[in-house]
Amino acid sequence: MKNGHAHIPEFGKKFDLRALDPGDSNGYSREEADAEILSLRVRLNDLQNVLYADERYAMLVVLQGIDTAGKDGTINSVFREVGPIGCQVSSFKVPTPEELAHDYFWRYRHQMPEKGHIKIFNRSYYESVLVERVKKIVPKETWERRYQDINELEDYLVRNGTIVLKFFLVISKDEQRERLQERINNPKKQWKFRPGDLDDRKLWDDYLTAYDDAIERCNTKVAPWHVVPANKKWYRDIVVARAIVEKLESLDLRYPPAPPEVLGMKVE
């Protein structure tokens, strides 16, 4: 049976990424997915226009995944038809000296979406319990407290009108090897590769354990995780696009009424 939806883990239950099949496409064929993504892109653009005019909500889309999981590709595909006025992307790399001089949330808070806008985080504040944990940048007693910080931040955002949609893109270790090799071989992608990617690959199991904990401990009813099989890029895209479209459709968005003096006016 086809099911183009992400896996939402059970709240408060132990989570194991190793139990999921990253190559699953839930009965979809490539042809069916290619046809569906076209309509989802158009629908997403229509809904974003209403979101922008409505101005009651903002939407934060968080994309996380191990290296080469396809965060850039997901953004390029899913938001292809969406105009840039009310939709922006923020990417987070190694913190700058200014960012390091503030609390770890500081650089993320400055990038939160305003009402009427969709903001896509390519990586996010979850790096503070992933990279900083795995590479031992901060001690355990520091990153342990951050799960509660994150839950409180997301609860605060939702209570103040920001919809938080979080996606973890799951790929297999073999798929990552192929994608890294493609970056090395393809002149148009070599700029994306850095030798440190191979060092991170050696920490594959440590990263999976850190992601299991982040998904389990920050999977809340107000901001649940959506876990997406991502070996097949075409399936990944419809799952993410459908989740965003369905959430926007649930908000009862509407264009504001025209001022009374505008009704019946004629332009000479």
pLDDT digits (tens, 9 = 90+) for 105-137: 999 999 999 999 999 999 999 999 999 999 999
51 three-class SS = helix
The two tokens of residue 40 are: 């989802």
Helix axes 233-249, 71-78, angle to 10 degrees: 60
pLDDT digits (tens, 9 = 90+) for 191-248: 999 888 999 999 999 999 999 999 999 999 999 999 999 999 999 999 999 999 999 9
More confident residue, 93 or 150: 150
Model confidence at 1: pLDDT above 60: no
Whole-structure pTM value: 0.94
pLDDT digits (tens, 9 = 90+) for 166-196: 999 999 999 999 999 999 999 999 999 988 8
**What does the mean pLDDT of the chain come to?**
94
- Give the per-residue pLDDT at 143: 97
Domains of the chain: 17-249 (3.40.50.300)
Mean per-residue pLDDT, 62-66: 97
Q: How far are the Cα atoms of 25, 150, 212, 229 from residue 240, in angstroms, in the given order?
A: 13, 22, 20, 10
The two tokens of residue 129 are: 């319990």
